[in-house]
Structure 1
Amino acid sequence: MPEPTSVPAPPVTVSRPVSEALLNEKWDRCISNMLIKSTVGLGFGIVFSVLLFRRRAWPAFVGVGFGAGRAYEECNWSLKQASQELKRKA
């Protein structure tokens, strides 16, 4: 007599509220954007430091600051837009 085949149980998924999932997505994008823009700013700062400013350190720090500041502003705008969208839906 053949043995009955066992069917695996479907995976249990925890559904998060839409607002939490949206917020997590926005924060992930903000953090990655901050890392990328700060690194690009650091790169430009190093290049300008070597080429124009006789190997001073301040252009690299200014580049990181500009990159991080731009990423912060984009993140702030993105989170405000998400907040407004959620308020309109509610």
Structure 2
Amino acid sequence: MADTSAPSTSAPAVRRPVSEALLNEKWDRCLSNLIIKSTLGLGFGVVFSVLLFKRRAWPALVGVGFGAGRAYEECNYSLKAAARDIKRQQQA
């Protein structure tokens, strides 16, 4: 029989500062936003390529570029807002 009174060897959870956790959450959202918007842009580009442009590759590439650009702008805005919030918290 196994001895159940042996101490557990699992390490305690590491608590990160609030600002680091906030930035990790923002980066996760940025990366998922980039993947989603680029994929949607690719999808629209492929549809337009098939329907209107005789199966050329450039509409799909333009769609990916528009999706990635939109995701970049939203990420930039989100990270700047987070930096402003952290700076305000430190000053208060």
Question: TM (normalized to structure 1)?
Answer: 0.88
Kindly provide the amino acid, as one letter, of the partner of residue 33 in structure 1.
N
Match of 2:21 in 1: 21
Q: Does 1:64 align with 2:69?
A: no
TM-aligned CA deviation for residue 75 of structure 1: 0.2
Match of 2:53 in 1: 53
- Tell me the SS of whatever aligns to 2:48: helix
- Tell me the SS of whatever aligns to 1:16: coil
TM-aligned CA deviation for residue 89 of structure 1: 0.4
**Structure 1 runs not aligned, ≥5 long:** none
Question: TM (normalized to structure 2)?
Answer: 0.87
Match of 1:81 in 2: 81
RMSD: 1.8
TM-aligned CA deviation for residue 59 of structure 1: 0.1
Structure 1 residue ranges (4+ consecutive) displaced by more than 2 angstroms after TM superposition: 5-11
Match of 1:44 in 2: 44
**Identity %, equivalent residues:** 71
TM-aligned CA deviation for residue 69 of structure 1: 0.1
Equivalent pairs counted in the alignment come to: 88
Q: Deviations over 1:5-31 (max 9, x none)?
A: 678699612110011100100000000
Kindly provide the amino acid, as one letter, of the partner of residue 67 in structure 2.
G
